[in-house]
Amino acid sequence: MSRIGKNPVAIPEGVEVQLQGQTIKVKGKLGELSMNVHDEVNVAVEEMQDDNGKKGKVVRLTPRSESVIAKQIWPTMRTLVRNMVVGVTQGYKKKLEIHGVGYRANLQGKDIVMTLGFSHEVRYAVPAGIKVEIEKQTELTVSGIDKQLVGQVSAEIRSFKKPEPYKGKGIRYTGEYIAYKEGKKK
């Protein structure tokens, strides 16, 4: 029995969940997300009462069989449904920092234009559903309701100039630890 999969996903007030077969749609104040649940997993919206006597709705996922794939995919589907509920209520954010002399980023329309020490500017088209804010020219915030898409966009931006191990120049996540190497000795 999975410790993650057996827990139901609580649906907060203001969030609407619709089931159509194996497709689940979650709608909240920040937007709407939908996903197809794997065929090996049953999904149901149920009424539930907590220890304090408060009633609310939950999404409960259960495996359809005792097969290996059902046991593996069941907690994953539960986590993806939970990420959808959190995304439409709170959203997700990733912060990036740009380190290096002359390294900076600016927004031009829906594109991010970065100067990263190359002979050319690096342009990145921000996909739909993602919002990028640039507080300073060296600090970016990527936000959105889809956790996977926020992480993917952040990783793509970081991949243009990963932090190098000698001086740490490049794009890194806020709070990311860089293991520095010692330079050449005389």
The boundaries of every CATH 3.90.930.12 domain in the chain are 9-89, 92-173
pLDDT attached to residue 84: 92
Second-level CATH architecture of 9-89: Alpha-Beta Complex (3.90)
pLDDT attached to residue 3: 84
Second-level CATH architecture of 92-173: Alpha-Beta Complex (3.90)
pLDDT attached to residue 47: 83
Between 48 and 154, the more confident residue is 154
d(CA 60, CA 46): 7
Assign 92 a pLDDT band (cuts: 50, 70, 90): very high
Cβ-proximal residues to 83 (8 Å cutoff; 6+ apart), any chain = 147, 148
pLDDT attached to residue 173: 92
DSSP symbols for 71-91: HHHHHHHHHHHHHHHHHHHT-
Its sign, for the CA torsion 161, 92, 112, 34, is: positive
pLDDT attached to residue 117: 87
Instruction: Flag whether pLDDT at 93 surpasses 90.
Output: yes
Model confidence pLDDT, tens digit, residues 166-185: 888 999 999 888 888 888 88
| Token pair for 136 | 């300073």
d(CA 38, CA 73): 7
Instruction: Flag whether pLDDT at 6 surpasses 90.
Output: no
- Chain-wide mean pLDDT for the chain? 89
d(CA 152, CA 144): 11
Q: pTM to 2 decimals?
A: 0.84
Cβ-proximal residues to 100 (8 Å cutoff; 6+ apart), any chain = 116, 117, 161, 167, 169, 170
pLDDT attached to residue 183: 80
Rg from Cα positions in the chain: 21
Instruction: Flag whether pLDDT at 54 surpasses 80.
Output: no
